[in-house]
Amino acid sequence: MSISVRLPDGSTLDVEEGATVQEVAYEIGPGLGSDTVAGVVDGTLVAREETLDSDVSLEIVTDDSDEYLDALRHTAAHVFAQALLRLHPDAKLAIGPWTDDGFYYDIAHVDLDEDDLKQIEAEAHRIIEADLTVDRLEMERADAIEYYEEAAPNRFKREILAEEASGEATVSFYEQGEFRDLCRGPHVRSTGEIGGFALLEMSAAYWRGDESNETLTRVYGTAFPSEAELESFLERREAAKERDHRRIGQEMDLFSIPEHSPGCVHFHPNGMRVRRELEEYVRTKNEELGYEEVWTPELNKKELWQKSGHLDFFGAEGEFYLWEQDGDEYGLKPMNCANHAYLYDREKWSYRDLPIRFSEFGTVYRNEQSGELSGLFRVRGMTQDDGHAFIRPDQIQAEITHTLSIIEELYGEFGLEAVYKLETKGDHSVGSDDIWARATEALRDALEERGLEYEIEEGEAAFYGPKIGLDAVDVLGREWTVGTVQLDFNIPERLDLIYIGEDNREHRPVMVHRALLGTFERFLGVMLEHFGGDFPTWLAPEQVRILPISDDQLEYANALADTFTGVRVTIADRSSTLGRKIQAAHDDRVPYMVIIGGNEEESGTISIRDRFERELDDIDPAAFKRALDEEIAAKRLEPAIIETWSDHE
């Protein structure tokens, strides 16, 4: 029996059912067959030995493919494990996947320190230099269980065989030299393909991410095809450490996450100044898009989310906060969608009224595992710049394209490159294939109408509809998931939302879910690392600091401060040398310093200095204030007043 394989160019190839990825590649051409490392089958990266048993889409992965790095890093995880067992034979291996930056392996029954990591890394380099062939071995599942009971006792592998592989007759192992590991793959052909290898750090992790399970040691590493690529990565990593938002946030006194509120951010006065600027900025964008601001409570009865489908989805992931009281079950909302749908459903709407748009800075809660929490990037309580538009089907294209145009403008004003990803139907979706196809095509059309390049992320959509995911690329080239635009035919159906059409009959609206920045917590973290704490003047918690040379100028300093209306200005009024005041302002990342001494007071002028250590003397305070107002209004990315004035002298 033959199956149809759809190739990236849109053509199809008929092959025998059960053919492997590599065999299909040989059908396309002998050169491609010999170069095959792996395959992407219906969006999932698989081994070249994987068999194809039904009609699929297939992309062949070679050394030149982006996915090659994933296979290489997967092999690097095995190289680490092999080196570990050579030096610590009592260690037990759990799981070792590749990641966006490298790989990790969770291990047990061994205590490691930094010196141990150095020795393991040296042994790993010897394994790489040996250029060991990586071979795939198929084994009956019963034999595999016996192997991990007797030959290589390992309860973690037995648990994987009992659960993830419970329906499999055979399972796969990969071998290199004396090392063997239960693994689906894919892997590269030999350890010698790894050009650069490094172990990075260790942390604790729970087996299967469950806090009730055993605590394991997680060892992180990375690998590249060349040593030069590794060195470049390590340099970027060091630069990223210098920009760590947790350290900068503490230095600038922006936020804290105390032990009594794990995963929930406390915004300090400085942090709230930045957050309020972001909120007001988003409000202006919402007004351009025609949204009306609302507020809905965090606490609701669980029936609301049962109807919308959120309970099934977030409940299955263990992310809901639920409790029982007086015979009713309550919860903290994980999303704002159902509450906004309630607001829509309170009124009777005509087709002439649509679109109806609600926006909210809505705080939501998700029960993330403790080990997954990470500063502002992974929290339990978060505030979304959320919005939902209820539209007619004939308004879809205009609504999505207008939203995308605002998003393009927004990310440009922050100096961020936006990467667009069209995320398609996943395994836990609701609704018919026809509705999903229609919604996905609408998003695709909007992206193409705007002329935006985009990637396809198979299976990554929300449970109710496809989405355009927005990643922001920061100054170090890292991608951060932030905003989103989603199209939803399903929740209106589940909640029985209607409007009266031109034919005087009931019709179903379509929902557009969108967040421009994502959450304020995560976006602030991205901004801190993108700017290294050196916020643009409009966003800086302190925009100007007045530095009197001595206490004699305090009266003049206060008079000047009063003229800086609408500007966040402070006075360095503690007794100290001018040099120390300048250094303190620089350390606090203040965009502009106004320096005043006796000469400035007498002449009614100021000296100004920016964070780049550029200075100008004999400046009219009113002229500086006008230039400052213009810079703030224009949302310039860097302090530019002194540079501009110097160029005009």
Query: Residue 390's beta-bridge partner residues?
Result: 356, 511
Which amino acid makes up residue 596?
A: I
Instruction: Quickly list H helices, 466-519.
Output: 490-494
The angle at the Cα of 297, spanning 293 to 300, to the nearest 5 degrees, equals 140
Q: First vs last Cα of the chain: how many Å apart? A: 81
Query: Residue 180's beta-bridge partner residues?
Result: 175
DSSP-derived 3-state class of residue 368:
coil
Q: How far apart are CA 238 and CA 243, in angstroms?
A: 9
Please answer whether residues 453 and 443 qualify as being in contact, where contact means their C-beta atoms are separated by less than 8 angstroms.
no
Burial profile 296-309: b = 16 or more Cβ within 10 angstroms, e = fewer: bebebebebbebbb
Task: List the one residue out of 298, 311, 367 whose CA is nearest residue 339.
Answer: 298
Please answer whether residues 570 and 515 qualify as being in contact, where contact means their C-beta atoms are separated by less than 8 angstroms.
no
Instruction: Quickly list H helices, 453-519.
Output: 490-494
Side-chain-side CA neighbours of residue 86 (13 Å):
20
Task: List the one residue out of 404, 388, 401 whose CA is nearest residue 355.
Answer: 388
The secondary element (H helix, E strand) that includes residue 329 is strand 328-332
Q: How far apart are CA 364 and CA 593, in angstroms?
A: 39
Strands 292-293 and 356-365: parallel
Please answer whether residues 343 and 296 qualify as being in contact, where contact means their C-beta atoms are separated by less than 8 angstroms.
yes
User: Where do the DSSP E strands lie in 347-380?
Assistant: 356-365
Rounding to the nearest 10 degrees, give the CA dihedral for residues 416, 541, 557, 630: 40
Please answer whether residues 374 and 308 qualify as being in contact, where contact means their C-beta atoms are separated by less than 8 angstroms.
no
Residues identified as active-site: 337, 366, 384, 386, 388, 467, 513
Q: How far apart are CA 321 and CA 643, in angstroms?
A: 53
